[in-house]
Chains A and B, each alone.
Chain A
Amino acid sequence: MLQGWVIVLTSFAYLGLLFAVAYYADRRADAGRSVIDSPYIYSLSLAVYATAWTFYGSVGRAAVDGVGFLPIYIGPTLMIALWWVVMRKILRISKQHRITSLADFIASRYGKSALLGGVVTVIAVIGILPYISLQLKAVSNSFTIVLQYPEIVMPAKLGAVPLLQDTAFWVALILAAFTILFGTRHLDAAEHHEGMVAAIAFESLVKLVAFIAVGAWVSWGIYNGWGDLFARSAAEPKLAAMLTPFDGVAGSYSGWVWLTILSMLAIMFLPRQFQVTVIENKDEKHLNKAIWLFPLYMLAINLFVLPIAFGGLLHFPEGGVDADTFVLTLPMAEKQELLALAVFIGGLSAATGMVIVETIALSTMICNDLVMPVLLRLRALRLNEQPDLSGLLLGIRRGAIVFLLLLGYLYFRLAGEAYALVSIGLISFAAVAQFAPAALGGIFWMGGTRLGALAGLGAGFAVWFYTLLLPAFARSGWLPLGLLENGPFGIELLKPLALFGVGGLDNITHAMIWSMTANIGAYVGVSLLRAPGAEETRQASLFVDVLRRPAEPGGPRFWRGTAPTPELFNLLARFVGLANAAEAFADYARRHGQEKPEAHPEADAELVHHVETQLAGVIGAASAHIMVASVVKEEALSLEEVRAMLDEASQIIVYSHRLEQKSQELERATQELRAANERLTELDRLKDDFVSTVSHELRTPLTSIRAFSEILHDNPELAVAERTRFLNIVIKETERLTRLINQILDVSKLESGRAEWHESLIDLREVIEDTIAATSQLFKERDARLVRRLPAEVPKVVADLDRIVQVVLNLLSNAVKFVEPGRGLVEVTLTEERGFLRVDVRDNGPGIHPADQDVIFDKFRQAGDTLTGKPQGSGLGLHISRRIVEHYGGRMWVSSRAGEGACFSFTLPLAREAALA
């Protein structure tokens, strides 16, 4: 079933399906229900990293040196761990400045330099070109191979074909048309290509499924699982060596490490990665999930690389089949037509995904950072007077896409056969790695300057060109091979593959060491030579401090100058169309609460900045700056002024930090005040309770004194015995009153802290003995027994003797008061604990209900219902006792169960040695 027309038809059907996906996503986006607004789609779109190079080339590389393909995916995993720090910053910057491409990003950082943007674009185009041609090669090779079915013939053996019969040529043209349809159907001010992203995400799924399918089939279809496969490989002497690929010396790992570093940089600075990661990002939060989902994708697509590589090597032991094609030739050799077709489609997705995104990214760069700045400066073209330039912009981009693909084809045609897939990809990686110092330095280091970035990029690129591209040309036969063997003009020190005599490294490691040295050295060195200018300082501050500034930052603060509003409006309309321009102005009006900004004759600085940002979203920062400058009467700011403004800005930040602190402090103080207020209210309520309780307690004896006094007064003829009895009651009640008032005074003194304490060393045993003696009358009256358990001798404590007597007396009299007359038993125990003396007074009275055990220490609280039960005391004794004990650092508590008596205990800390002396 693998006839030519089936393959072509399937391919076109697949491309049609892709287009349908993109069309659907675009429609949904227009309706405001974006399908790509999801972290999962975002993660899948990042997988555009896995190109045909991954799909076919990984196996090829694995078949040569075992694990050499892994750093290309492990490096990005490590880099992505740093994305939380690095990429969040780049995303924030790019959204605020409406960055349209990597070139725009770097140009914008270094003072919106059009020259720098152009240089980045040129490097990117030259560096990526081999990579694009690699995709063309992969598609056309796989197509050619499938066509030969059931024979397995390598394309290189088929010989040169004329242009019009060359599949790669047609592939290039079809892809160009397809990319134009995807990427440049209309001009989007935000440079978002929702349809393209949806299609890319879909392709990522297709290539993953296809690769895993063929991997699983090789592992379990041809062989009996991985164990069988690797055991057979270990039996072959040639393959066994690849199971331990490092040859034991530390030096053999350096190539591995440099490949890891190279891939770490590539994942950030490949134009297509920058496009999907930064430009097409819908929401900064999508990054979170992508940080682990995307590495997981890379792990999954690499899982079967080694089994396929070893399977291929075992299956075609005589060679003659290129390892780069194992993914396809294994199913073909086993007559699995459907699987072979699936692989072909998988490879097609990998290649088309890469080509589409890469050429869109590069065409944006070519248009915004290379062609437009030049066109705008050419006054002869009178572009300033054109009413609508959006057609021109689209035209340039479409032209750039065709140009790039034809150039890629040319490279393929002329040089394609000299290298395996992986080597070509690595040359491109090394080229984009040159952007790293300027881009990463630019977001973390204020001191990097435009000249420094130019010097670094220039030096790095020159070294890359000399050590990687020239040798590639030489091997393709464009240059004499003698250049590699003897150096230029026979100068050995300048040999491109062993610069300054440093040999013995693989070409990528060698090129990376020298180009990074030159790049970073020149960037830092030249930056330090001269201080940055005004525009550079301003942009540097906006980039480096982006996370510390509030959104919509400082542009306006740095602007001084105004522009006629109509001219500004027309300028914007020329690039984005009338409707979009009106929309942008309306948006500005909404956010600033202005009626109609276009009605004012003079636009203020903020509106000018707004227009420039909008424009930057279409033509890039550098071009936008040129365009706006042509209508704005900007007063040039001197470096001193920019510095002053920056200082002011950073002071404002400091102030706002302080303000935030102050307001937090204020909030804390408010809370404390509120708590204090609540406590005061509570205290006030307690005081009211106290007063009313006291009045109540005082009134009871007073009432009875008054009643009996009145009886005595009104009945002079009362019998003497009766009179004496009444007078006795009056005396008793008066005593009770006195006692009560004394206790109330005591409480108030204790509570206000005005109580007087006369400390001395006292012997608690003696105190207890004395108090027992003093209460013996009470015990006799109620016929209660008292048991004492006192040690012969105890250490002394420091306390006020009278107060402690008061406490013990209170406990004893309470105990005897509550026991049943005639059967009462009170136990007094004194024990020494660690650092404390403990006194327990246990009785066999009715006990105290658990609910009451806490409240009996409160003022005027007694166990039981005070209204019905007969009050047996003032309700202040325990409260005072506890306060006294706590004053000396002791504790007082009660343990009891209803019906089983109660045990009141208190502790007093022992006197310290010093006090004893």
Chain B
Amino acid sequence: MGEFDVRGQRLAALCLLGLLLFNYPLLAVFNVQGALFGVPVLYAYFFLAWALLIALMALVIERRG
């Protein structure tokens, strides 16, 4: 058993996904005027993407096997 078992690989992939989500150029895409449900687009994007990432991490951890 090494460090990078299946779960380790999945979580590492999520880390990479996060680095992608919270970086240029994706941030530039959402750095625009406008609002989503009354919240500025960029702020809404941050919290939604963040919540998505946490949900995926929980999924990887809590799923059996």
Contacts and interface: CB of A to CB of B under 8 A. Distances in A.
User: Are A and B subunits of one complex?
Assistant: yes
Of the candidates A84, A227, A246, the one having the most CB atoms from chain B within 10 angstroms of its own CB is A84
Of the candidates B12, B37, B43, B62, the one having the most CB atoms from chain A within 10 angstroms of its own CB is B43
Interface string B20-37: 001111011001110101
A248 B18 contact: no
A519 B51 CA distance: 34
A346 B9 CA distance: 38
Contacts of B8: 84-85
Contacts of B53: 77, 81, 295
Contacts of B11: 81-85, 291
Of the candidates B3, B35, B62, the one having the most CB atoms from chain A within 10 angstroms of its own CB is B3
A85 B12 contact: yes
A457 to B, nearest CB: 24
A85 B7 CA distance: 9
B28 A245 contact: no
Interface residues of A, number: 45
Task: Give the secondary structure class of A's interface.
Answer: helix
Contacts of A234: 35, 40
Contacts of B1: 547-548
A243 interface: yes
A303 interface: yes
B65 interface: no
B39 A230 contact: yes
A243 B33 CA distance: 7
B31 A260 contact: no
Nearest to A247: B31
Interface string A226-256: 1110110010000000011110101001001
A246 B50 contact: no
Of the candidates B7, B42, B54, the one having the most CB atoms from chain A within 10 angstroms of its own CB is B54
A81 B57 contact: yes
A295 B3 contact: no
A88 B3 contact: yes
A256 B54 contact: no
Nearest to B24: A253
A444 to B, nearest CB: 8
B1 to A, nearest CB: 6
Contacts of A639: none
Given A82-B15, A226-B38, A547-B1, A77 B31 contact: no
Interface string B44-65: 0011001101100110011000
Contacts of B62: 292
Given A85-B8, A244-B31, A245-B31, A299 B43 contact: no
A264 B23 CA distance: 14
A230 B35 contact: yes
B18 A253 contact: no
Contact of A246 (B15, B28, B37, B38): B28
A70 interface: yes
Nearest to B28: A246
A78 interface: yes
A226 B24 CA distance: 27
B38 to A, nearest CB: 3
A760 to B, nearest CB: 58
B43 A295 contact: no
Contact of A248 (B7, B31, B37, B50): B31
Contacts of B46: 67, 70, 74
Nearest to B33: A244
A257 interface: yes
B54 A548 contact: no
A67 B50 contact: no
A250 B23 CA distance: 10
Given A67-B42, A78-B15, A256 B27 contact: yes
Contacts of A256: 22-23, 27
Contact of B7 (A80, A84, A253, A299): A84
A299 B18 contact: no
Contacts, number: 116
B31 A246 contact: yes
A82 B38 CA distance: 34
A248 B11 CA distance: 31
A266 to B, nearest CB: 16
Contacts of B51: 299
B44 to A, nearest CB: 10
A225 interface: yes
A291 B28 contact: no
Contacts of A89: 3
B35 A296 contact: no
A81 B15 contact: yes
Contact of A288 (B14, B22, B25, B61): B61
B57 A292 contact: yes
B39 A226 contact: yes
B18 A244 contact: no
Nearest to A231: B38
A766 B14 CA distance: 71
Contacts of B24: 250, 253, 257
Contacts of A228: 38
A245 B11 CA distance: 30
Contacts of A80: 57
B40 to A, nearest CB: 4
Interface string A275-315: 00000000000001101100110010001001000000000
A230 B7 contact: no
A627 to B, nearest CB: 33
B38 A230 contact: yes
Interface string A559-599: 00000000000000000000000000000000000000000
Nearest to A229: B38
B29 to A, nearest CB: 11
Contacts of B37: 226-227
Contacts of B2: 547-548
A807 B56 CA distance: 64
A81 B43 contact: no
A512 B24 CA distance: 19
A908 to B, nearest CB: 48
Nearest to B49: A74
List the 3 shortest-distance A-B pairs measured between CB atoms, nearest first: A227-B38, A292-B58, A81-B15
Given A78-B15, A226-B37, A292-B54, 16 more contacts: A67-B46, A71-B22, A74-B22, A77-B18, A77-B50, A77-B53, A84-B61, A230-B38, A244-B32, A244-B42, A245-B31, A250-B28, A289-B61, A295-B54, A299-B54, A306-B43
Interface of A: 66-67, 70-71, 74, 77-86, 88-89, 225-228, 230-231, 234, 243-246, 248, 250, 253, 256-257, 260, 288-289, 291-292, 295-296, 299, 303, 306, 547-548
24 contacts: A77-B53, A78-B15, A78-B19, A81-B11, A81-B12, A81-B57, A82-B12, A84-B7, A84-B11, A85-B3, A85-B12, A226-B39, A227-B37, A230-B35, A230-B40, A243-B33, A244-B42, A246-B31, A248-B28, A253-B28, A292-B54, A292-B57, A547-B1, A548-B1
Interface of B: 1-4, 7-8, 11-12, 14-15, 18-19, 22-25, 27-28, 31-33, 35, 37-40, 42-43, 46-47, 50-51, 53-54, 57-58, 61-62
